[in-house]
């Protein structure tokens, strides 16, 4: 359904998608690369288990959430394709997986 008009700019690397190996261009926007790979739905909702897919692609709707390398509730539209990455569909879980941030300490910007 989604296709690229140009040759991939990054080299193809292997990532794990729900346990299956797929090749995606390194450095590409993860949500876009997954859409082109025909992945879907990205998650199901906590209340009615309804299927959802990316909506805004700019980080405001949180419909593109997935578990990346074991961390739930990652916005795939704000992530890049990294070799060896593991992406899993997220079923139902509410967004409690995000850590409560510690009180910001003044430690300067590294």
Residues at the interface with another protein (CB under 8 A): 1-6, 9, 28-29, 32-33, 35-36, 40-41, 45-48, 50-63, 65, 71, 73, 78, 80, 95, 98-99, 101-102, 104-110
Q: What are phi and psi of 23, to 5 degrees?
A: -105, 125
Which 3 state secondary structure label does DSSP give 15? strand
16 binds, among ligand FES, another protein, none (CB under 5 to 8 A by kind): none
Diameter of the chain by CA atoms? 47
Contact (Cβ atoms closer than 8 angstroms) between residue 38 and residue 1: yes
> Site residues (CB under 6 A) for ligand FES?
31, 54-57, 59-64, 75, 77
């Amino acid at each position: 359904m989604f296709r690229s008009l140009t040759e991939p700019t990054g080299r193809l690397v292997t990532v794990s998608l729900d346990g299956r190996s797929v090749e995606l261009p390194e450095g590409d926007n993860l949500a876009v690369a997954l859409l082109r790979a025909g992945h879907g739905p990205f998650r199901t909702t906590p209340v009615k288990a309804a299927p959802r897919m990316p909506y805004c692609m700019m980080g405001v709707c949180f419909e593109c959430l997935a578990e990346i390398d074991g961390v739930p509730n990652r916005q795939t539209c704000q992530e890049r394709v990294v070799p060896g990455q593991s992406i899993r569909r997220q079923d139902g879980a509410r967004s409690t997986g995000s850590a409560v941030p510690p009180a910001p300490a003044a430690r300067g910007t590294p």
